[in-house]
Amino acid sequence: MANELELKYGCNPNQKPSKIYMQDGSELPVTVLNGKPGYINFLDAFNSWQLVSELKAATGLPAAASFKHVSPAGAAVATELSDTLKKIYFVDDLELSPIASAYAKARGADRMSSYGDWVALSDTCDKETALLLKREVSDGIIAPDYTDEALEILKTKRRGTYNVVKIDTSYVPAPIEHKQVYGITFEQGRNDMKIDAEMLKNIVTDNKELTEEAKRDLIIALITLKYTQSNSVCYAKDGQAIGVGAGQQSRIHCTRLAGNKADIWYLRQNPKVLALPFREDIRRPDRDNTIDVYISDDYEDVLADGNWEQFFTEKPEPLTREEKKQWLSTFSDVSLGSDAFFPFGDNIERAKRSGVQYIAQPGGSIRDDNVIDTCNKYGIAMAFTGIRLFHH
């Protein structure tokens, strides 16, 4: 380890010089095992590592995250994957360890956003996870350790330049943190708020039932939000985030953005999507892009242009608006977390359209009664955590 690392440049090539270092002169808690991570890589690495280590501590399960531009595209804990999820995550041909399953879920939640991601693992990166990563487009990874096989596999990525970072799990950051903006130093206490099931006890709706799965998913959503650029909301189901809306100026736009991502995640499981007759030579990123177009309302226009022959062996039948509406009507048992209070019931109306049955949010709006009433209209269980989770 060293006490500083010189970087190629900052956020942009014109921002030089650039480095990371420990202000007190102590050693950095990371070792670069391969590649040359940059400024944004390390921002992703340190945020994502905190997320997965907290998920592991809260759930007891191996955890993984897929980060892009200092917000998670996906986060998950290791649970059994259904055959359908294995197929839509393109891992049905792989042997998956628990930590590999967690990463398959984290990346699979929003595969388009995860393209070129930074990966974080709570546990040692094994051969199974490295083989999964080997065939995906990714910038780098942070983990507490790597097996010899895994490290050798990862060193072959990107012509040997793939970024591999090892973090010292014994490192404890200082309780006070600083950052500079416009030459002015900001200081604040580190956000060391522990998120667990105790936060979910103040259920303010008529429906006061939270299943164990819902509690787990709400914890996943809240911890994900703790490291997502605000404003943000997170939809979660089956031990993973399925839609993250980050960095929006209004709460309803967060809810819509994340809800649309959750809808796409579910629509990818539609039998028509699973049966799309892709040509064998179509790469996974191109399949992701094509599936996104197929699910969209523009697909019939694309079909009319004859573009289907680039991707399919035969012309697929469109997934109509009526079929999408019917399929989404079966979406259920989704959990939703918000980093700040919902100011209006319209957020609940939008969330319900994406199968939300459980909500955790701080509460404290002057319109809490309206939000609670909207939840009661749909039988949604909602907990007030009393804790805001802004992250900037």
Does 253 participate in catalysis according to the annotation? no
Q: Choose the catalytic residue: 41, 47, 68, 105.
A: 68
- Report the helix count and the strand count for the chain, using DSSP H and E: 13, 15
Does 392 participate in catalysis according to the annotation? yes
CB hemisphere CA count around 284 (13 angstroms): 18
> Three-class SS of residue 116?
coil
Token pair 């980060």 is found at: 67
Q: Which residues partner with 34 through β-bridges?
A: 164
Q: Choose the catalytic residue: 34, 41, 231, 270.
A: 231
* Phi and psi torsions of 53, nearest 5°: -70, -35
Taking the C-alpha atoms of residue 260 and residue 354, their distance in angstroms, rounded to an integer, is 8
Q: What is the CA radius of gyration of the chain?
A: 21
Does 376 participate in catalysis according to the annotation? no
> Three-class SS of residue 30?
strand
Taking the C-alpha atoms of residue 370 and residue 390, their distance in angstroms, rounded to an integer, is 23
Closest CA to 63 of 120, 136, 114, 117: 120
> Three-class SS of residue 221?
helix
- Report residue 153 as tokens: 């596999």
What's CA 372's distance to the chain center, in Å?
27
Taking the C-alpha atoms of residue 364 and residue 359, their distance in angstroms, rounded to an integer, is 15
- H-assigned helices in 139-232: 148-154, 212-226
> CB count, 10 Å around CB of 106?
33
What 169-178 contacts at long range (C-beta under 8 Å, 24+ apart), as own/partner pairs, is: 169/53, 169/144, 171/29, 178/23
Q: What is the DSSP letter of 309?
A: G
Q: Which residues partner with 63 through β-bridges?
A: 77
Ramachandran bin of 325, using left for φ above 0, alpha for ψ from -120 to 50, beta for the remaining angles: alpha
Q: Choose the catalytic residue: 69, 86, 87, 272.
A: 69
**Catalytic machinery residues:** 68-69, 231, 392
